[in-house]
Structure 1
Amino acid sequence: MQTTKRLRFPIEVILVCIRWYAAYPLSYRQIEEMMEERGVCVDHSSISRWSIRFLPILEKVFRQHKRQVGTRWRMDETYIKVKGVWKYLYRAVDKEGKTIDFLLTAKRDKAAVMRCFDKAMQDNGIPEKVTMDKSGANKSAIDEINDAMDVPMLIRQVKYLNNNVEQDHRAVKRITKAMLGFKSFHAATSILAGIELMHMIRKGQLMFGGTEEMSFADQFYALAGQIHSA
């Protein structure tokens, strides 16, 4: 998988920049300054392009090495501003707080809920139990999904039981807050994939040889080393 052809900067520089951007509440200009202090002159617009280009690739590779999640899910949505308009980031975690999946959507409706469930179940199987809030879109979507199943999922629509996924949103929102909104839906989708990737690595969800002894940063670089074998 050739992703580093015709790059002006070493891949090591690119990886440092995009890791900082997706892992910490920093702006592109702040990272530009931090790199300049280290003797590397890179424009903030280059860091933006690298992030949009490479973070989704890394998140895709991560899915091949993601630890198995539990069968009791918590699903909820939070708000993300794109071009000054609020969009919806659907997120699901298991009972232990491990990330199951996520999906940015333009609307908060039945179709969005079903897309999120389909995406989550494709990689993680069918849950035994799902907890979500009492929105009509959630109820309508889950009823339709259950109607097509031989053994329906057990659904609990009790808001206070969803505290752990709401708490988990904060780790993502802490990073996006520093970004002051996204300029396009494509950019938002790409960067959020990177933010969720970093969050999952921190939660110990990366699984291949030796990661248990690695630091958070080293796990990220080890994952990047898997790109050419993906």
Structure 2
Amino acid sequence: MSTTSNPYRGFRFPAEIINQAVWLYHCFSLSLREVELILAARGIVVSYETIREWSLRVGRVYAKSLKRCRPQLGDKWFLDEVFVRIRGKLHYLWRAVDQHGTVLDVLVQSRRNKKAAERFFRKLLKGLCYVPRVIVADKLGSYGAAKREILPGIEHRQSRYLNNRCEVSHQPTRRRERHMRRFKSVRHAQQFLSIHSPIHNHFQLRRHRVSANEYRTARDRAFLTWRDATGAALVG
């Protein structure tokens, strides 16, 4: 069996421990060393560098599986970009979420001009394979210019206040950025966030909007989907 078909190949720890480590690292605001300490408290001696490797190699497979398991995505896209400083240089993290708060995709770029917006639109359309009914963004002119080229005819709403849903979704990234003492390169940022966003977002159940029983049901469903997605990594 190839490494592609079995991401656990070559690791001496069982899949259950790798699964737990990746879940802890991406679901909570924990550093690699903190995850190492939690596992050590449970009698599992593993270095933080090994956990980093698990996060990159196996986490990528988990993230792809979770994307395939996502429920039907919304037809209203909220777009936003925030700056991230990488090795002293300013870059921009582009993010899209739907009306349900599901992160659709992320892209790290060095610009936020029309060309960068077009690249982000194409990445979204390629990954999602459908067009939205409405696009909501702030007043950055690049969105409108790119939309006219890539998505003509789609309703476009621009307001600094309508876009709060996407702006809030950047907060977990900011917390992780502080823990990691900033990203080391554009490739590192893109690679990490492409894994972190689907896993972390999967367990964000918006508890304040539902009753306790509804929350527990949603939480059980999220864990069931997680087990299905991570179990599928063994065979797919």
Report the AA paired with residue 141 of structure 2. Answer: G
In structure 2, the partner of 1:198 is 199
Q: 1:15 aligns with which of 7, 16, 19?
A: 19
In structure 1, the partner of 2:185 is 184
Alpha-carbon distance between aligned partners in 1 of 2:231 and 2:43, rounded to the nearest angstrom:
25
Shift of 1:166: 0.9
Report the AA paired with residue 106 of structure 2. Answer: F
In structure 1, the partner of 2:118 is 114
Contact 1:26 1:179 in 2 (8 A): no
SS at match of 2:228: helix
Q: 2:107 aligns with which of 88, 103, 106?
A: 103
Report the AA paired with residue 135 of structure 2. Answer: V
Q: % of aligned pairs identical? A: 29
In structure 2, the partner of 1:144 is 149
Report the AA paired with residue 185 of structure 1. Answer: V
Q: Is 1:67 aligned to 2:71, yes or no?
A: yes
Q: 2:8 aligns with which of 4, 9, 13?
A: 4
Contact 2:27 2:203 in 1 (8 A): no
SS at match of 2:108: strand
In structure 2, the partner of 1:26 is 30
Alpha-carbon distance between aligned partners in 2 of 1:15 and 1:228, rounded to the nearest angstrom:
11
In structure 2, the partner of 1:157 is 158
In structure 2, stretches of 5+ residues that fail to align are 206-216
Contact 1:61 1:223 in 2 (8 A): yes
SS at match of 1:159: coil
Shift of 1:145: 1.4
After superposing the two structures, state which structure 1 stretch, 23-32 or 115-124, moved more: 115-124
TM-score, with length taken from structure 2: 0.83
After superposing the two structures, state which structure 1 stretch, 39-48 or 181-190, moved more: 181-190
Contact 1:56 1:194 in 2 (8 A): yes
Shift of 1:120: 1.7
Q: Is 1:227 aligned to 2:229, yes or no?
A: no
Contact 1:53 1:190 in 2 (8 A): no
Question: What CA deviation, in whole Å up to 9, does each residue of 1:176-215 have, x standing for no partner?
Answer: 33222122333322221222112331246xxxxxx95726
Report the AA paired with residue 145 of structure 1. Answer: I
Q: Is 1:52 aligned to 2:56, yes or no?
A: yes
Question: What CA deviation, in whole Å up to 9, does each residue of 1:25-70 have, x standing for no partner?
Answer: 1111111122111111111111112212122221112222111112
Runs of 4+ in 1 over 6 A off after TM superposition: none
CA-based RMSD of the aligned residues comes to: 2.2
Shift of 1:84: 4.2
TM-score, with length taken from structure 1: 0.85
CA pair 119-214 structure 1, distance change in 2 beyond 3 A: same
Contact 2:105 2:194 in 1 (8 A): no
In structure 1, the partner of 2:130 is 125
Contact 2:67 2:198 in 1 (8 A): no
In structure 2, the partner of 1:78 is 82
In structure 1, stretches of 5+ residues that fail to align are 205-210
SS at match of 1:225: helix
Report the AA paired with residue 13 of structure 1. Answer: I
In structure 2, the partner of 1:89 is 93
CA pair 53-80 structure 1, distance change in 2 beyond 3 A: farther
